Amino acid sequence: MSNKIGKDILHAAQILRDGELVGIPTETVYGLAGNALNEISILKIFSAKNRPQFNPLIVHISSIYEMELYAKDIPIAAQKLAREFWPGPLTLILDKKDIISDLITAGSKKLALRVPNHPMALTLLGMLPFPLAAPSANPSGYISPTSAEHVAEQLLGKLKYILDGGNCETGIESTVVGFDDQGNPIVYRKGKITSEQISSVTGLDVLEAKSDKSSQGPGIHGNHYAPKTPFLLGDLEKLIKEHSMQKIGVLSLQKKLDLPETAIHLVLSKEGNLEEAAKNLFSFMRKLDSEKLEIILAEKVPNKGIGIAINDRLERAALKKTV
C-alpha cells in the first residue's frame, strides 16, 4: 500500500498546517480537506476536484461551540438541530461571519457548517487551530468515496495523504438544511437525517428545496453521483428482460432475480436493512462501474428513513443517461 495512506493523525495535521490537502474519513463519506481559513488551500481543493467555483464547500468544525466563530444570527431551529444531531450527518446553512472567505461560499453570504461524527476526524479537528473545508473526495460529478481506497483510486496524485478511517458508517452524504427568512428549515440535500426528524426536533414544517435536478443550485446538480456506465432505474424484472442481450449489472435491495449468466448482481442488504444498504450503496456502484458493463439496472428501495436518501441518490445516478 502506498505510504500516502495511513492512520497517522499527527502527520495529517502537519500537512494541513502546511496548507496542503488530506483525504479524511467522516461517518458519511470521505472528505477532501484543507485549511478553511487559507485561501490557497481552498483553491487547491477546487482544482484537485475539478469543481466549478460556483459550488460552495462545507466547513467542518470540531464541536457545536465553534459554531459562533464562523456563523451569526443563528436561527433557533438551527441551534436545536445542532444540539440534537452534532456530531452527525447534518450540515447547516447559516449566515457567515467575515472570517469565512467568499471562495468557500462561492460568493454567498451563507456558509455550510458541520461537525462530523468520526473519531479520527474529530481528533484531527481538535488538534488544529482552524476548521477544515471539505467537499466529498471524488472528482466533481462522480460517486462519493466511502473508503480510503476509493479516494486513492481517483485523487491520490492530488493529495499529500489519506487518513484511513475504514469504511464510512452512514455511506451517504449529510442532510443539508438551510432556513428561510422566518427561520423555517429547508432541506437542500436528503440524507440520513430525515425531514420528519427535522420537523420533530424543531416543531416546524420542513420545506423541500425545488428538486429541479438540472439546476445548478446547492446539492442538486444533475450530474452528482453518476457512475460512468449508463444507469437505469425502474422495475427490475422488466428492465432485465428488456436488456437480456446486454452485459448487465444489477443493483437491488434483496430480490431473488432471474438473470442472464453474464450478469453481475450485487445485493445491497441480504436482510433488506436500509442502513446497511446505504453503507454499501456507493461502493457497490463503484464496483459495478469498474466491471465494463454495458448497463447497470437498479430499483428503488422502500421510501422510508434513510431509504428516502438512497432513492434520491439512485435517481441522480440514473439522470446521466447515455442510452
Q: What is the DSSP string of 55-88?
A: S--EEE-SSGGGHHHHEES--HHHHHHHHHH-SS
116 binds, among Mg ion, ligand TXA, none (CB under 5 to 8 A by kind): ligand TXA
Give the Cα separation of 268 and 306 in Å (integer): 13
Give the Cα separation of 250 and 219 in Å (integer): 26
Stretch that binds ligand TXA, among 9-17, 22-30, 230-238, 312-320 (CB under 6 A): 22-30
Stretch that binds Mg ion, among 71-79, 134-142, 186-194, 229-237 (CB under 5 A): 134-142
- Cβ proximity of 236 and 252 under 8 Å: yes
Position 167 contacts ligand TXA (CB under 6 A): no
Q: Which of 38, 108, 123, 223 binds ligand TXA (CB under 6 A)?
A: 108
Cα of first residue to Cα of last residue in the chain, in angstroms, is 37
Position 136 contacts Mg ion (CB under 5 A): yes
Position 101 contacts ligand TXA (CB under 6 A): no
- The cell 422488466 sits on which residue? 238
Cis peptide, bond prior to residue 87, ω within 30 of zero? yes
Position 173 contacts ligand TXA (CB under 6 A): yes
B/e letters for 246-273, b = 16+ CB within 10 Å, e = fewer, are bebbbbbbeeeeeeeeebebbbbbeeee
Find the shortest distance in angstroms from Cβ 29 to ligand TXA. Answer: 5
Q: Give the residue with the Cβ less far from Mg ion, 141 or 272.
A: 141
Find the shortest distance in angstroms from Cβ 25 to ligand TXA. Answer: 9
Q: Give the residue with the Cβ less far from ligand TXA, 38 or 105.
A: 105
Position 285 contacts ligand TXA (CB under 6 A): no
Stretch that binds ligand TXA, among 107-115, 194-202, 244-252, 272-280 (CB under 6 A): 107-115
Q: Which of 131, 171, 218, 307 binds ligand TXA (CB under 6 A)?
A: 218
Give the Cα separation of 264 and 279 in Å (integer): 19
Stretch that binds Mg ion, among 63-71, 132-140, 227-235, 310-318 (CB under 5 A): 132-140
Stretch that binds ligand TXA, among 27-35, 250-258, 289-297, 300-308 (CB under 6 A): 27-35
- Cβ proximity of 80 and 185 under 8 Å: no
Q: Which of 15, 37, 57, 240 binds ligand TXA (CB under 6 A)?
A: 57
Report the amino acid identity of residue 64. Answer: I
Position 28 contacts ligand TXA (CB under 6 A): yes
Element (H, E) at 125: helix 119-127
Q: Give the residue with the Cβ less far from ligand TXA, 138 or 252.
A: 138
For 160, the 3-state DSSP assignment is: coil
For 188, the 3-state DSSP assignment is: strand
Q: What angle do CA 291, 293, 298 make, to 5 degrees?
A: 100
Binding site for Mg ion (CB under 5 A): 136
Binding site for ligand TXA (CB under 6 A): 26, 28-29, 31, 55-58, 91, 93, 105, 108, 110-112, 114, 116, 134-136, 173-174, 176, 188-189, 218-219
